[in-house]
Chain A
Amino acid sequence: MASSAPILRPLSCWKALLRQSRQQKMCIRCMATAQTPVKKLRPPPPLPSSFPSPYKLTHKGHEPAKKIKTYPPPPSARNKFPTPLVDWTAQHLKDIDPTGSRTRLFAKDNKDAPQPGDILLVTFKTGDPFSGVCLSIRRRGVDTGILLRNRLMMTGVEMWVKIYSPNVTAIEVVKRAEKRARRARLYYMRKPKHDRGSVEGEVEEYLKKRRLIRSGALGIKDPTMSTKRPESSRSGVKAR
């Protein structure tokens, strides 16, 4: 069995072959790595300092970068008109409120300006006039508006009125608040405890008085023309 194995296994000769080649390889390696005397080279003589290095001249990294041409920008609308929103608002207000009366009526520095708590009467181009207690004034440029609250047909009604709306023909102060409100927004008046209720009575009284003043029966100057805040709680500041 043992003697016939190498013949039966043809690959068994590989072992002998590989062993031989390994020995040969070792011989070759020995020949190649045999030490030879190394010839020492002298370093080149240093160049004179005045002579620029040729390496520096040819190496691209040391060259200054080629300058790329840049073109000037065209004239800028943004730099000339940096606040287009403000400009637009001012221009539009000039168009819709040419006299500036509405702006003045609700200006913050106007002492006679309506304040939260006052009863206001707004008349419209179309539809019935609306009156109510002013709950808040929202100053937002073109979007400036007032919130009025009244009670109509036993129901509390609120209405935002945009003061610059072309539909609004007039805003009149029917009655000033007896005491200055200590809040900017009187939303607490929506609660039953603080609800003012209907202001129709005050408005009727105001309209009656206005009619009399306009007819000249009382011999008083039209209070709508006055610019001062009257001492009495009743007044009439109006903007058309």
Chain B
Amino acid sequence: MASKACHSCLQLPPPFLLPRAAFGLVPKRGIKSISTPRETRFTRGKGLPQLEASTAAALERKWYTTPLRTGGLGTKKGMSAVYNTETGRRQACTIVQMDRVQVVAHKTRQRNGYYAVQVGSGWKHPSNVTRPELGHYAGHGVSPKRHLVEFKVRDEQGLLGIGETIGASWFQEGQYVDARANSRGMGFAGGMKRHGFKGQGASHGVSLTHRSMGSSGQSQGGGSRVLPGKKMPGRMGGHQVTTQNVKVVKVDEEKGIVVLNGCIPGPDGCLVKLSDAIKKPWPEIPMVTSDAQAVAEPLRETT
């Protein structure tokens, strides 16, 4: 024992008085989620199941719903309608314009723990971009972008080449997409508007509390406290909302227009993230843009 030698030369108190750290017998403490699990005779050996709390297990769980290819960025321009000339049916539609959407960087499993494509859209004057960010763009040979968004992909086959442009034709007419955008901000809203509370009566002695939320819980017996997550007035809207399975009605590569069926979240002019719908079969579209189509072959659903 090392502490014995120390005792003799430095005149330290007997070992049982020393702090326990000197023994090396104290179990290593740390944050469970970031420190690797301790090796014991139960965790060692082959054929043991994968730890469910690991990154690898999480990626495997999400494997089925992770898109094969990256999505695109657009701006919501407004809503219009389309008439089907055969059936005469009218369809409301939303027009999204894609502007200078390019792949800026990649995220890889080895380096970042997951596969993703960083996509930028628009353009920002270099004088308005900070030097670290400017270096990021310069390092990848891409012009500074107004918006930067990451799209997760399943594996390295989905990593579209850096600098490649994602136009409107990245999506196909008839395919389904998921549209994500920040919803319209409502500001500080009451319980009736925010959560659909009924409010209180207009009469029968109700005074000045017609739209108030009422009680927030019991008193003695219910714990005399407000339970966590109680729906209350507060900030409403302005958070990301996803509309799933939106059909692509029309695509115009030249104008950068993607016409979507129905409505999508957000006000006009907001940034819209479009990606292949995860609840529909993956579209059979080449995984590369038109510029590089000759190089790579289309990738199809493997399952």
Which A residues contact B (CB, under 8 angstroms)? 65, 68-78, 80-81, 84-85, 87-89, 92, 95-96, 125, 141-143, 162, 164-167
A84 and B85: CB pair below 8 A?
A: no
CB neighbours (8 Å) of B99 from chain A are: 76-78
Task: Tell me the bound Cα distance from A80 to B77 in angstroms.
Answer: 15
Task: Tell me the bound Cα distance from A135 to B1 in angstroms.
Answer: 100
Beyond A77-B98, A92-B83, A143-B81, 19 additional contacts (C-beta under 8 Å) are A68-B138, A70-B137, A70-B138, A73-B123, A74-B165, A76-B99, A76-B100, A77-B97, A77-B99, A77-B100, A78-B75, A84-B77, A85-B80, A88-B80, A89-B80, A95-B85, A141-B80, A142-B83, A165-B90
CB neighbours (8 Å) of B138 from chain A are: 68-71
Given A70-B138, A73-B143, A125-B88, residue A85 in contact with residue B100 (CB < 8 A):
no
Encoded as 1 (CB less than 8 Å from any A CB) or 0, chain B from 92 to 127 comes to: 000101111010000000000000000000110010
Encoded as 1 (CB less than 8 Å from any A CB) or 0, chain B from 127 to 147 comes to: 000010011011001111000
Task: Tell me the bound Cα distance from A88 to B131 in angstroms.
Answer: 40
Distance (whole angstroms) from the CB of A19 to the closest CB of chain B = 26
B257 and A88: CB pair below 8 A?
A: yes
CB neighbours (8 Å) of B123 from chain A are: 73, 76
A-B contact pairs, 17 of them (CB 8 A): A68-B126, A68-B131, A68-B134, A68-B135, A71-B137, A76-B123, A77-B254, A77-B257, A78-B97, A81-B257, A84-B256, A88-B80, A92-B82, A92-B83, A143-B81, A165-B83, A166-B84
B97 and A84: CB pair below 8 A?
A: yes
CB neighbours (8 Å) of A85 from chain B are: 77-78, 80, 95
Distance (whole angstroms) from the CB of A169 to the closest CB of chain B = 11
Task: Tell me the bound Cα distance from A80 to B98 in angstroms.
Answer: 12
Given A70-B143, A88-B95, A96-B83, residue A77 in contact with residue B256 (CB < 8 A):
yes
Distance (whole angstroms) from the CB of B142 to the closest CB of chain A = 6
CB neighbours (8 Å) of B98 from chain A are: 77
CB neighbours (8 Å) of B81 from chain A are: 142-143
Task: Tell me the bound Cα distance from A70 to B145 in angstroms.
Answer: 11
Partner pick for A81 among B75, B143, B256, CB 8 A cutoff = B256
Main secondary structure of the interface of B (DSSP, over half): mixed
Task: Tell me the bound Cα distance from A81 to B75 in angstroms.
Answer: 13
Determine whether B259 belongs to the interface, using a CB cutoff of 8 Å to chain A.
yes
Q: CB-nearest residue of chain B relative to A77?
A: B256
Distance (whole angstroms) from the CB of A111 to the closest CB of chain B = 28
B141 and A96: CB pair below 8 A?
A: no
Task: Tell me the bound Cα distance from A164 to B81 in angstroms.
Answer: 11
Task: Tell me the bound Cα distance from A76 to B123 in angstroms.
Answer: 9
CB neighbours (8 Å) of A75 from chain B are: 100
Number of A-B contacts (CB under 8 A): 92
Distance (whole angstroms) from the CB of A162 to the closest CB of chain B = 6
Task: Tell me the bound Cα distance from A73 to B88 in angstroms.
Answer: 42
Task: Tell me the bound Cα distance from A167 to B77 in angstroms.
Answer: 28
Distance (whole angstroms) from the CB of B198 to the closest CB of chain A = 30
Partner pick for A74 among B134, B137, B143, CB 8 A cutoff = B143
B90 and A162: CB pair below 8 A?
A: yes
Task: Tell me the bound Cα distance from A125 to B83 in angstroms.
Answer: 14
B134 and A70: CB pair below 8 A?
A: yes
Distance (whole angstroms) from the CB of A233 to the closest CB of chain B = 33
Determine whether B235 belongs to the interface, using a CB cutoff of 8 Å to chain A.
no
Task: Tell me the bound Cα distance from A166 to B102 in angstroms.
Answer: 40
Determine whether B210 belongs to the interface, using a CB cutoff of 8 Å to chain A.
no
Determine whether B255 belongs to the interface, using a CB cutoff of 8 Å to chain A.
yes
Given A70-B126, A165-B90, residue A78 in contact with residue B83 (CB < 8 A):
no
Task: Tell me the bound Cα distance from A72 to B100 in angstroms.
Answer: 11
A70 and B80: CB pair below 8 A?
A: no
Encoded as 1 (CB less than 8 Å from any A CB) or 0, chain B from 167 to 193 comes to: 110000000000000000000000000
CB neighbours (8 Å) of A95 from chain B are: 85
CB neighbours (8 Å) of A71 from chain B are: 137-138, 141-143
CB neighbours (8 Å) of A76 from chain B are: 99-100, 123
Q: CB-nearest residue of chain A relative to B256?
A: A77
Task: Tell me the bound Cα distance from A81 to B45 in angstroms.
Answer: 63
Task: Tell me the bound Cα distance from A84 to B268 in angstroms.
Answer: 12
User: In chain B, residues 240-278, which have Cβ atoms closer than 8 Å to a Cβ of chain A?
Assistant: 254-257, 259
Given A72-B143, A84-B95, A165-B83, residue A78 in contact with residue B256 (CB < 8 A):
yes
A164 and B134: CB pair below 8 A?
A: no
Task: Tell me the bound Cα distance from A186 to B195 in angstroms.
Answer: 36
CB neighbours (8 Å) of B75 from chain A are: 78
CB neighbours (8 Å) of B95 from chain A are: 84-85, 88
Distance (whole angstroms) from the CB of B105 to the closest CB of chain A = 14
Task: Tell me the bound Cα distance from A69 to B138 in angstroms.
Answer: 6
Encoded as 1 (CB less than 8 Å from any A CB) or 0, chain B from 189 to 227 comes to: 000000000000000000000000000000000000000
